[in-house]
């Protein structure tokens, strides 16, 4: 008799919970990427692949080769994979092909948390952590270093070709193609083979093909002419301040054309151009600034990636991302309090958030105070210490550290997030949102067990 995998794991195991959770998700965007005509080899079920990735990330396994090996050796992985063994190439290509869809799984898991009552938004905390990129800090080069390497590579290539080809160019034709008679003979044989293949499997040319070709050419010409006119109108508006209807929108020459510098400034990393040198807890690293917003249940309600090291300027964007994710998950409540550390102090953003009816509690950053004059920012800088020293303000702000910092600790130390595996901001964002989604999934699993 075939084995019954239901006897392999207890009923409250995380693997069964992941399978049930994926069954509640909307995976139409995954299935839409596959054809339905029955051609080509059948693909692995996307629901199985999503469950496999979620369980692997929840266990701190993000290597496709390790996941492939676990599908042979680990009972829980074999249950999720339904006794199948997708190879590491298939797993890696699935992640790459469905990058945007996998990033959206974060919202599906948040919806499940909202249904269980874990997505409360009375108090939210925002913070960021620096995570090393899959890149070497030694590969940060400026313009002169890049130009020097290109020249050195060209010299080395010329030397290798001189040794290989000698006085020859290296692209000479073979002897049978070097004469006109030889080329005509080869073309004659190729034509005969092609005619034989066509006679064996004739492919009639559609009668309306010339018409369709003309229509396509006409559409391309119309699109090109539209683009040319739009560019001309924009140049007139940008340089002379004249709109498309001839009216003057601004003084001539108000907008100056951009003049690039003679030598590009800054440095770029060759292994991951989107990563930057950021200040981490134990020094400078080549990495990303992973931002997150959590609630009092330590549920991550927003997860984004920034390429700048500081947290300044990310307060309002992260709040907007959190409200967008919560609204998509069916949570319509407005946050009451937003907590952050001193690095997020931004007077204008704090004022706009306060105008939306959300209390912001951030300790003043003395390094950013520009003057000793009181009320230099509307009195917020001077009033915040008194607000935090009050009983209610101090009680609320003391929640910030246990709300969000243990989340980063669980991801980094308990699940091995020492660095991102993928490269590029989009790929890293997908990886970060998958890690955050599995954190929420683990919280939901523990909540379910406690309720049972």
Closest C-alpha to 408, from 397, 395, 418, 393: 418
Packing angle of the helix pair 14-23, 46-58 (nearest 10 deg): 140
Phi, psi of 190 (to 5 degrees): -65, -40
Q: Which residues pair with 132 in a beta bridge?
A: 287, 419
State which H helix or E strand residue 128 sits in. strand 123-132
Q: Residue 300: its pLDDT value, please?
A: 95
In 10 A of CB 155, how many CB atoms? 10
Answer whether 338's CB lies under 8 Å from 404's CB. Answer: no
Q: Is 152 helix (H, G, I), strand (E, B) or coil?
A: helix
Residues 6+ apart with CB under 8 A from 185: none
Whole-angstrom distance, CA of residue 32 vs CA of residue 35: 8
Q: Which pLDDT tens digit goes with each residue over 194-241? A: 888 888 776 665 666 667 667 777 777 787 888 888 888 777 766 665
Q: Residue 364: its pLDDT value, please?
A: 85
Task: Return mean pLDDT, the chain.
Answer: 86
Record the tokens describing residue 444, joined without a space: 């939901």
Q: Which pLDDT tens digit goes with each residue over 281-323? A: 888 999 999 999 999 999 999 999 998 888 888 999 999 999 9
Residues in the chain where the model's pLDDT stays below 70: 1-2, 202-210, 212-213, 237-258, 365-379
Q: Which pLDDT tens digit goes with each residue over 238-267? A: 666 555 555 655 555 555 666 777 777 778
Q: Which residues pair with 293 in a beta bridge?
A: 126, 302
Whole-angstrom distance, CA of residue 406 vs CA of residue 445: 18
- % of the chain beyond a pLDDT of 70: 88
Concatenated DSSP letters for 156-205? Answer: HHHHHHHHHHTTS-S-PPPGGGSSHHHHHHHHHHHHHHHHHHHHHS--PP
Whole-angstrom distance, CA of residue 290 vs CA of residue 265: 26
- Look at the block and give the residue holding tokens 């993000």: 62
DSSP designation for 239? I
Q: Residue 398: its pLDDT value, please?
A: 93
Q: Residue 256: its pLDDT value, please?
A: 64
Q: Residue 206: its pLDDT value, please?
A: 60
Predicted structure pTM score = 0.77
Whole-angstrom distance, CA of residue 152 vs CA of residue 150: 5
Closest C-alpha to 342, from 126, 123, 121: 126
Closest C-alpha to 310, from 338, 280, 352: 280
Whole-angstrom distance, CA of residue 360 vs CA of residue 222: 53
Q: Which pLDDT tens digit goes with each residue over 144-160? A: 888 888 888 899 988 88
Structural Rg of the chain based on CA atoms: 30
Whole-angstrom distance, CA of residue 189 vs CA of residue 194: 9
């Amino acid at each position: 008799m075939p084995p019954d995998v239901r006897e392999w794991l207890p009923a409250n195991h995380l693997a069964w919970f992941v399978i049930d959770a994926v069954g509640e998700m909307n995976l139409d965007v995954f299935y839409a990427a596959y054809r339905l005509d029955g051609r080509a080899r059948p693909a692995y079920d996307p629901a199985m692949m999503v469950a496999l990735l979620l369980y692997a990330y929840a266990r701190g396994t993000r290597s496709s080769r390790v996941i492939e090996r676990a599908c042979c050796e680990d009972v829980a992985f074999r249950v999720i994979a339904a006794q199948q063994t997708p190879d590491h190439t298939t797993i890696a290509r699935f992640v790459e092909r469905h990058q945007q869809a996998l990033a959206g799984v974060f919202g599906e898991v948040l919806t499940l948390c909202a249904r269980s009552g874990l997505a409360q938004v009375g108090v939210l905390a925002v913070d960021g952590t620096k995570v090393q990129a899959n890149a070497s800090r030694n590969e940060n080069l400026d313009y002169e270093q890049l130009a020097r390497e290109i020249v050195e590579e060209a010299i080395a290539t010329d030397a290798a070709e001189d040794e290989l080809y000698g006085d020859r160019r290296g692209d000479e034709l073979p002897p049978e193609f070097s004469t006109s008679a030889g080329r005509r003979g080869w073309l004659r044989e190729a034509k005969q083979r092609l005619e034989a293949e066509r006679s064996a499997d004739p492919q009639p040319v559609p009668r309306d093909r010339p018409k369709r070709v003309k229509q396509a050419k006409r559409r391309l010409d119309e699109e090109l002419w539209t683009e040319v006119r739009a560019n001309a109108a924009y140049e007139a508006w940008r340089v002379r301040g004249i709109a498309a209807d001839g009216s003057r929108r601004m003084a001539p020459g108000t907008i100056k054309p951009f003049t690039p510098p003679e030598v590009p400034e800054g440095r770029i990393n060759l292994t991951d151009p989107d990563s930057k040198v950021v200040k981490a807890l134990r020094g400078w690293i080549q990495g990303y600034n992973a931002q997150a917003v959590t609630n009092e249940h330590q549920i991550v309600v927003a997860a984004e990636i920034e390429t700048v090291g500081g947290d300044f300027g990310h307060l309002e964007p992260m709040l907007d991302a959190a409200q967008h994710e919560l609204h998509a998950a069916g949570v319509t409540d407005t946050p009451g309090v937003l907590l952050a550390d001193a690095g997020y102090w931004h007077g204008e953003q704090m004022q706009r958030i306060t105008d939306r009816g959300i209390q912001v509690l951030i300790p003043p950053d003395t390094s950013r105070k520009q003057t000793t004059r009181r009320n230099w920012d509307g009195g917020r800088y001077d009033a915040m210490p008194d607000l935090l020293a009050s009983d209610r303000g101090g009680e609320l702000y003391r929640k910030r550290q246990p709300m969000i910092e243990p989340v980063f600790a669980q991801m980094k130390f308990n699940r091995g997030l020492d660095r991102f595996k993928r490269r590029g901001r989009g790929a890293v964002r997908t990886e970060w949102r998958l890690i955050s989604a599995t954190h929420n999934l683990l919280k939901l699993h523990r909540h379910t067990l406690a309720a049972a």
